[in-house]
Amino acid sequence: MAGFSVTIPHKQRILRYLDVIDPAARRIGAVNTVWRKAGKWRGTNTDADGVTAPLGRHVRIGKSSVLVVGNGGAARGAAFALAAAGAKLAITGRNLDRVRALAKACDAEPLSREQTESRMFDVLIHATPLGMAGRAEQCFFDDHIPAKLVFDMVYNPLETALILESEGPGRRGDPRPGDVPRTGRAAVRNLDRRERAARGDAEGRARRACAGSGYGRLIRIMAT
């Protein structure tokens, strides 16, 4: 085995089994891409670029208010990347103790779900298992979607309950943002450039292949 991708709920737990962890992934506290080099297992996190790269094409992240929903590995990747980009960040989720811990780690505002009902953000990043295949009918928000732009990191199915609610009565989705890659392939290409010895060999191909395979759904909400 040359490498593999890591998904929910193992992105944080995998760190204890790795020999080398990319500094950014260590700060985030989560890894989603693992490969082997020189007999050592190495890990990095491409979720961060997988959020900020497509999002940056539609908003000025450093001038935007962003609500991250979740506190697991994917949420951590998004939160740390957005904080580093200068976003005015808030975090909510079902486990308020974990929400507060993540918010403290990345200098964000912790919010309960009830507190989000009276707020409106420029961007909402959804990073919980709600809406995934097997839980497709579930949505973190009952009705009010507190953002103008929604990025759902759930990619199976693409039309999640959150996306359907966002495009529901009284609002419509702008098709221009469309489906955006969440794989972080650009981040893996950067790894290849930094590790020239791996470029073009089986290890490099394996790392690119295992750098995640999902797509998030990014839509803009506009009043009708």
Residues noted as catalytic: 11
Query: SS3 sequence, 18-68?
Result: CCEECHHHHHHCCCCEEEEECCEEEEECCHHHHHHHHHCCCCCHHHCEEEE
CB atoms within 10 A of CB 176: 9
Query: Quick one: which of 167, 129, 127 has its CA closest to 149?
Result: 167
Token digits of residue 213: 């395979």
- Max Cα-Cα span within the chain: 57
CA distance 148 to 66: 10
| Cβ(81)–Cβ(51) below 8 Å | yes
| Cβ(69)–Cβ(128) below 8 Å | yes
Task: Give burial (CB, 10 Å; 0-12/13-18/19+) of 8.
Answer: middle
Eight-state DSSP code of residue 101: H
Token digits of residue 132: 């995934």
